[in-house]
Amino acid sequence: WLFYPIGMSAGQVSGAPPGGCYPGPPHGGGQSGSGLPPGGGYGGPAPVPGGPYAPSTGGGPSGTPRGPYGGVAPGAPYGQPPPSSYGPQPSGPYGQGGVPPNVDPEAYSWFQSVDTDHSGYISIKELKQALVNSNWSSFNDETCFMMINMFDKTKSGRIDVYGFSGLWKFIQQWRNLFQQYDRDHSGTISQMELQQALAQMGYNLSPQFTQLLVSRYCQRSATPAMQLDRFIQVCVQLQVLTEAFREKDHAVQGNIRLSFEDFVTMTASRML
């Protein structure tokens, strides 16, 4: 079966670019450096009205895509979680169905299905097996590893139901943004669409830089296009680097002076 983050209703996840001098997430800001979608000057979370980093207004999906964005389980209703692999859930200490507090029941149902070894945790392998792009390719290892690290509060290389609930919301928000920028509803982001997406997120980046991203993260073809997993990876990395940069940009001018070691330390300490 395949985990499809398609009918997830989630709030803003952190890790998006902002508006103003730094890009940030659409629909407001999220936690700094958490990987949610953005809106601003050169990349990062949206700034707050009246402040140097006010949030951008953003927007929702521009239409209903023809293809699946992020994987809908074959044979299952659009956005409907698969039957629980644990069987019927009796009422437990958390109430009806044993759903823990502050965990979306639908996310909990998906967690049970993705947790194929019933360990109570989701590994990188299990996550990779559960997530697919619009062309039915699995999410790449780098993106899965990055997302696990973002929500692994115990640094064990796995996420529990609470971490998975956060990841559920995170993927949904990025999928919605991906769908918004996929103007032709192809299920992928072209170089032109990526350039427009980064600009609307608030990143002041050249077409040459976008070309670099496409050549690095897209499969070679006459018309290379970016899948959802790479879109998430690229945007989160941009936001993480933006957060690191803006910590040094005290004058909020988009320019800083660094020694080589400071630069290496700044980037290495933010790598997910």
Angle separating helix axes 228-248 and 141-151, nearest 10 degrees: 50
Over residues 193-216, the pLDDT tens digits come to: 999 999 999 898 999 999 999 999
| Share of the chain residues as helix, strand and coil, in percent rounded to the nearest 5 | 40, 5, 55
pLDDT tens per residue, range 67-80:
334 443 333 333 33
Residue ranges of alpha helices (H) inside 73-190 are 105-114, 124-130, 141-151, 161-181
Helix, strand, or coil (residue 146): helix
Contacts 24+ apart (CB under 8 A), 150-156: 150/15, 150/34, 150/35, 150/236, 150/272, 156/121
| Geometric angle at alpha carbon 182, from 245 and 133, rounded to 5° | 85
Q: Minimal CA–CA distance to 60: which of 173, 189, 227?
A: 173
The band of 56, judged by pLDDT with boundaries at 50, 70 and 90, is very low
Nearest by Cα to 214 from 205, 202, 225, 228? 225
Asked if 169 and 147 touch (Cβ cutoff 8 Å), the reply is no
Which tens digit of pLDDT belongs to each residue from 142-183?
A: 999 999 999 998 889 999 999 999 999 999 999 999 999 999
Say how many CA atoms lie within 13 Å of 90 toward its Cβ.
2
Q: Are the CB atoms for 187 and 69 separated by under 8 Å? A: yes
Got the DSSP string for 214-242? Answer: HHHHS--SSS-EE-HHHHHHHHHHHHHHH
Q: What is the pLDDT of residue 34?
A: 53
* Entry pTM: 0.68
Residue among 38, 21, 34 at smallest CA distance from 181 = 38
